[in-house]
């Protein structure tokens, strides 16, 4: 399991991502962006980063970056 950050275009998308992943039993947390000031994203602990990105993209979450 890895913990990684996924950036979103807005706090609304960060909460949307949080809700989508929680529904699938995946733990995550909404945070301010560690990359640059004034942005939002989530920290996710999961085994597959690609799988998380797929879930979020299919759920209509617009991403701004993956670290």
Partner 1 sequence: MKPIYFDNAATSYPVSAEVTKAVELFLRGPFGNPGRSGHDPAINTSEAIYNIRKDLCLFFGVNSPENAAFTYNATSALNEAILGSASAIAAVKGWGFNVITSVWEHNSILRPLYALKDGYNIDIKFISAPFSNRDAVISQLMSLADKQTGMICLSACTNTTGETSPYCEIGEIAKRLDIPFILDGSQAAGHFPFSLPDSGADILCVPGHKGLLGIMGCGAMILSDTSRIMPDSTMFGGSGVNPQLHTMPQEPPERFEAGTPGVPAIIALGKGIELINRTGTDSIRKHEADLTHFIYDQLSEMKSIRLYSPDCGGSIILFNTKMSCEIACDMLNSRGICVRGGMHCAPKAHTAIKTSSNGAVRISVGISNTIKEAQYLVNEIRNLFE
User: What stretches of 9-66 adopt beta strand conformation (E)?
Assistant: 28-32, 40-46, 63-66
Q: Does 12 bind partner 1 (CB under 8 A)?
A: yes
What angle do the packed helices 11-23 and 49-58 form, to 10 degrees? 110
Which member of 2, 25, 38, 47 binds partner 1 (CB under 8 A)?
Answer: 38
Q: Does 9 bind partner 1 (CB under 8 A)?
A: yes
Q: Does 22 bind partner 1 (CB under 8 A)?
A: no
Which residues of this chain interact with partner 1, rule CB under 8 A?
A: 9-13, 15-16, 18-19, 30-32, 37-40, 60, 62
């Amino acid at each position: 399991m890895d913990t990684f950050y996924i950036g979103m275009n807005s706090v609304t998308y960060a909460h949307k991502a949080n809700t989508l992943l929680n529904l699938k039993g995946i733990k995550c947390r909404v945070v301010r962006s560690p990359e640059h000031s004034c942005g939002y994203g989530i920290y996710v602990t999961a085994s597959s980063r690609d799988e998380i990105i797929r879930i979020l993209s299919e759920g209509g979450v617009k991403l701004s970056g993956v670290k």
